[in-house]
Amino acid sequence: MLIIEGISKTFGKGSINEKLAIDDLSLAVNKGDFISIIGSNGAGKSTLLNCISGVYGVDSGSIVLDGIDLTRLPEHKRSKYIGRVFQDPLRGTAFDMTIEENLAIANTKNKSIGLQRGLNKKERDLFREKLALLDMGLENRMKQKVKLLSGGQRQALTLFMAVISKPKLLLLDEHIAALDPNAANKVLALTDEFSKTPDLCTLMITHNMKVALEYGNRTILMKDGKIAMDLHGKEREKMTVEKLIAQFDIDNDRMLL
């Protein structure tokens, strides 16, 4: 489904700050995979997602999603196939617009029609029905501005907006890191649910190793711009946070729990 072959990315080439952030990385993601990505600060996790979504072009290698070669496509063209959620709950939504306006924008992302015509009853009913699934009471607040929502509610809405246009790939970069434990659990449960959408691939960066092992079907550890460990199946089932930490000690690596 997602085939990444030999990609590399260097920042500040030729400068004193030159940094090889992604180093000849290859990764094949199957349809329906939900992969958690861990690794210490600076390992290249965010850069990997940014290379996939087109924020950065790669220096070499290729990225192919469901047969579509993304490698040279600009970010806005890739966004048709990719939903994203970041750490900052302020980043994914239009702050000063209402919940339903935000949903309408997300819903028209892949369609040629604009927002100007406003929302019709059918759309509003659809949004209300879908929002109710979040179980946060947002279906009764559709005309309220997003800025009135809590961080957890906003992140749940952002996640929902990221999948409403039926992307092939969902990229999550520490999307629960800024939330309190309750909200984080709620958003994680939603993530788990959305990740079960048929054929959707999900890549989730987290610094929480317990979460990384509990959610999804595969866990990748990044180190120095490479994949240092790729756990799935039985091997992953047997893995514990303690063993992971021991592994980090061997690598003399540092990671927050």
How far apart CA 132 and CA 233 sit, in angstroms, is 34
Structure tokens at 198: 């048929």
From the list 4, 33, 47, 171, which residue makes contact with ligand ADP (rule: CB under 6 A)? 47
CB atoms within 10 A of CB 181: 8
Q: How far is the CB of 84 from ligand ADP (least distance, A)?
A: 14
Residue 58 interacting with ligand ADP (CB under 6 A): no
Residue 42 interacting with ligand ADP (CB under 6 A): yes
Kindly tell me which of 41 and 240 has the beta carbon lying closer to ligand ADP.
Answer: 41
Residue 39 interacting with ligand ADP (CB under 6 A): yes
CA dihedral 6, 11, 12, 18 (to 10 degrees): -80
Residue 45 interacting with ligand ADP (CB under 6 A): yes
Number of residues that bind ligand ADP (CB under 6 A): 12
How far apart CA 58 and CA 128 sit, in angstroms, is 40
- DSSP annotation of 218: E
| Closest to 102 measured CA to CA, from 149, 158, 185 | 158
Kindly tell me which of 40 and 108 has the beta carbon lying closer to ligand ADP.
Answer: 40
Residue 19 interacting with ligand ADP (CB under 6 A): yes
Kindly tell me which of 46 and 155 has the beta carbon lying closer to Mg ion.
Answer: 46
Q: Kindly write out the interface string for residues 64-83 of this chain, putting x where it contacts ligand ADP by CB under 6 A and - elsewhere.
A: --------------------
- Kindly indicate which of the ranges 37-45, 96-104, 187-195, 227-235 contains the residues binding ligand ADP, using the contact rule CB under 6 A: 37-45
Q: How far is CA 161 from CA 94, 97, 106, 118, 166, in A?
A: 11, 14, 5, 18, 10
Q: Which does 124 bind (CB under 5 to 8 A by kind): Mg ion, ligand ADP, none?
A: none
DSSP string, 11-63: ESTTSTT-EEEEEEEEEEE-TT-EEEEE--TTSSHHHHHHHHHTSS--SEEEE
Kindly tell me which of 45 and 223 has the beta carbon lying closer to Mg ion.
Answer: 45
Residue 54 interacting with ligand ADP (CB under 6 A): no
- Kindly indicate which of the ranges 34-42, 71-79, 118-126, 162-170 contains the residues binding ligand ADP, using the contact rule CB under 6 A: 34-42
Q: Are 145 and 56 in contact (CB under 8 A)?
A: no
3-state SS assignment for residue 196: coil
Binding site for Mg ion (CB under 5 A): 45-46
From the list 21, 164, 204, 231, which residue makes contact with ligand ADP (rule: CB under 6 A)? 21
Which H or E run includes 243?
Answer: helix 241-250
Q: How far is the CB of 134 from ligand ADP (least distance, A)?
A: 28
Binding footprint of ligand ADP on the chain (CB under 6 A):
11-12, 19, 21, 39, 41-47
